[in-house]
Structure formats: C-alpha cells, structure tokens
Amino acid sequence: MVTKTITWLEKQQQMGVKTLAVLFDPDDDAQLRQVVLQHARRYGAGMFMVGGSLLTEGNARQCVEELKSLGAERVVLFPGNEIQVVPNADAILFMSLISGRNPEYLIAKQVAAAPQIYRSGLETIATGYLLVDGGKWTSAHYMSQTMPIPADKPEIAATTVLAGAMMGMKAMYLDAGSGATKRVSAEMIAAVRRVFGGILLVGGGIRDAAAAADAWSAGADVVVIGNGAFENPEIVREIAEMSTKIYKNTAGALQP
C-alpha cells in the first residue's frame, strides 16, 4: 500500500529531510512539462503538484495522467477552483484561504468541492493557504479578490497560522504567488514556524538554490517551485542538491 502523502511528509519532517515540490500548471506547454518532470524525477523531487489560479482549458485530469504515466509519484492537487479537482491524483491540498476575508475562498468553494472529493476517495490534507505580498499583483489575488499579507508583517502571518492550527489544519502554505518578484521572507517563515509544528510549505519567487536554502533554514518543510523550473529546468537539480546538503549538515550536527 502506498504511504499517504501527509504521513510521508510528517516522516520527512521528523527525519529532518527537506522536500522539493514542483508545481505544474495544466495550461503550460506539454513538451516543456515533460522536460521539467524529467529533471524533477532525475534529481529527486519529492512531490509533484498540479494546479493554477486560472484554468482556461480544463485539462487538469490530463495533466495528472501525463505526469503519472511518466513516473511521477505523489501527485498532489493544488486547486485554484473546484473544476481542478480530479480523481486521478494521489492527494489534494484541501485549502482555505485564511489570509483573506472572502467567504467564497474561506468555505464556499470547499463546500462545492467536498462531495466530489468524497466520492473520489482522494486523500485530503487540510491546509491553510496564505497569500503573501510578492511585489506584484497576481492572478491569485485577482481571482480571490483578497489582499495579501504585507511582506513586512510576519506577526500577521504567524497569528493567522496559529488560528488555522487551532481549527485543525495539518499544513500551511505561504505563497508569494506566481511570478513573484520577491519571495516570502525568512523572518516570516521563522515566525510561522515558532507557532506551528505541522507541515509548512513555502512558494513563490524561488528561482535559485540560495532562495530555497533560506526558506528551508528558516523552517519550511517543503519548498515549491513553479515558474522558476519552467524558465530554467536546471535549477531543479541545484535546489535538489541543496536539500541534500542541508539534510547532511543537519544530520552531522546531531551526531554525538
């Protein structure tokens, strides 16, 4: 039996292993997706996420099928809308946009998707989703009609995450958004880590190994790369090597 994604993530966290996740937009070029996937598999990416804030072609199911047929393991949905909920993935980040105050994305979209997810048998990972100011207005901001958390207000992110944790959310996702010009700060990640012991994902604006290292060192369990991998697939290798280096350094430091 395949280990549930949340169980696997928790085990990775317990061992001090940092996870790299690559995000695939179903509307991206299929040939380029294959190139990125090949790099991700070759260099040990741990998760393959599918989703986007704006879906124009409705081909999430096809994208998941393509990734799995090419050997991707742990294909996890990161849905921007209920039409991106498809049954052939391994799990879904069942997200509530807790950084905003739009009831559609706090609970209404989740209610609409719940029966379909229930029937599909998808593993659901209760996730608090926080949009963080990444220096530009993104499609996620526009579609959700919510304001991001100011980049220089880590205490707002921390208290928002604390509330989500008290409501039982097992994972939190700090996202500067697609095409962000600045990433989530180490200060904000560390502030969230101090109040939250669950799985912490960080994405948006991560385009090199140093940026990934900053996020992991500040407390992220999972670094998510999307646009950066498609602009330069080679960074998948660089970031994967960085995760291994961090793990080895951490393991060495724990030796008596």
CA 30 to chain centre: 21
From 210, 207, 213, select the one nearest 233 (Cα to Cα): 207
pLDDT 10s digits, 146-189: 999 999 999 999 999 999 999 999 999 999 998 899 999 999 99
Q: Which residues have a Cβ under 8 Å from the Cβ of 197 and sit 6 or more positions away?
A: none
E strand or H helix that includes residue 111: helix 109-120
Residue type, 68: K
Sign, CA dihedral 148-150-151-153, equals negative
Q: Which residues have a Cβ under 8 Å from the Cβ of 153 and sit 6 or more positions away?
A: 188
DSSP assignments along 23-91, one per residue: EE-TTS-HHHHHHHHHHHHHTT--EEEE--S--SS--HHHHHHHHHHTT--SEEE--SSGGG--TTSSE
Question: Looking at the DSSP assignment, which residues form a beta bridge with residue 131?
Answer: 175
Cα–Cα distance, 146 to 187 (Å, whole number): 23
Domain 5-251: CATH superfamily is: FMN-linked oxidoreductases (3.20.20.390)
DSSP assignments along 152-190, one per residue: T-HHHHHHHHHHHHHTT--EEEEE--TT-SSPPPHHHHH
> Residue 2: what pLDDT?
63
From 11, 13, 18, select the one nearest 241 (Cα to Cα): 18
> Residue 121: what pLDDT?
96
Domains of the chain, by residue range, sit at 5-251
> Residue 52: what pLDDT?
80
- Segments of the chain with pLDDT less than 70: 1-2, 53-58, 251-256
Burial of residue 104 (CB within 10 Å: 0-12, 13-18, 19+) is middle
